[in-house]
Amino acid sequence: MATIALHSRDALTPVTDGDQLWHLAGAWLLSHRSEHTRRAYARDLRAFADWCAAHDLDMITGVRRGHIDAYAREAEEVQGESPATVARRLSALASFYGYLVAEEAITSSPLTHVKRPKVGDDSQTTGLDRSQVRALLVAAAADSPRAGALISLLAGNGLRVGEVLATDVVDLDTERGHRVLRIIRKGGKRATVPLAPSVVNALDTYLARRTDGPLFSTRTGKRLDEPYVFRLVRRLAREAGIANADKLSPHSLRHSFATLALDANVPLRDVQDACGHADPRTTRRYDRARHNLDRHAAYALASYLAE
């Protein structure tokens, strides 16, 4: 079986020609509209393909449930992957083998009865408290106008880094008196995001009247990539004296946005909409105070009945 590699156009390219796996994997990836999903699924499928190659398994016809269980246990116990990561990998494989069943390449999926790791109710991403977010914003503004604008947007709107980096200057607009940014969410859904004055000021300072090209670009005009932002967040966090700086990621700012918005008593449904979460249970994972006994519904009901 050929080892597969991620192609720059978000597909899996074969190292050897005539590989049936390539054709099926490529078609499966193209069935997903989101570029982010295609990239993530391609990485997970490639990791499993490498594992199958190491164990001399035909990935299409030779994989059984026991192999999937062994792969998951090895990821957890040997590689030290988190339950959330293993669950995500298995989700990708379930999608892939489900596609193979639909295309009649196999008769049944080896993932059908596989139990996925239970993921805790709380988000596992390392987040920041209010003072840390403030310190990071100060460090970003001192670093450069681009860093100041980028961190302000990520922290101030809780956007996914991929959503931000995919935008162009022309996606900035005005709507009913609000400065807004038009983005594409996961699944290809378009959304209009209002920008707070502090974010607008940071963006205007950075753009300096530039009217075209990627919203965040390099000195040569190319679009910034996610690895750069990942390194930037950690470097700025270290400069700001933030503990666990080397555990942070761009998603930490999204986590902090949701957590701090809920701490500020923004209604759950409004935070859900701002984050683009399809399921409110996803948003609730960021609510640090949801187990606070002072907020228990029994007290509110007793007060209401006593009125």
Give catalytic residues, as residue numbers: 160, 186, 251, 254, 277, 286
**Gap between the Cα atoms of 304 and 298, Å rounded:** 10
Give percent helix, percent strand, percent coil of the chain, each to the nearest 5. 55, 10, 35
Q: Which three-class secondary structure state does DSSP give residue 180?
A: strand
Four-residue CA torsion sign, 133, 224, 198, 145: positive
Tokens 């403030």, located at residue: 134
Rg of the chain over all Cα atoms, to the nearest angstrom: 22
**Gap between the Cα atoms of 148 and 146, Å rounded:** 5
254: buried, middle or exposed (CB in 10 Å: 19+, 13-18, 0-12)?
A: buried
Contact, 207 vs 160, CB < 8 A? no
Tokens 């490639």, located at residue: 46
Contact, 197 vs 173, CB < 8 A? no
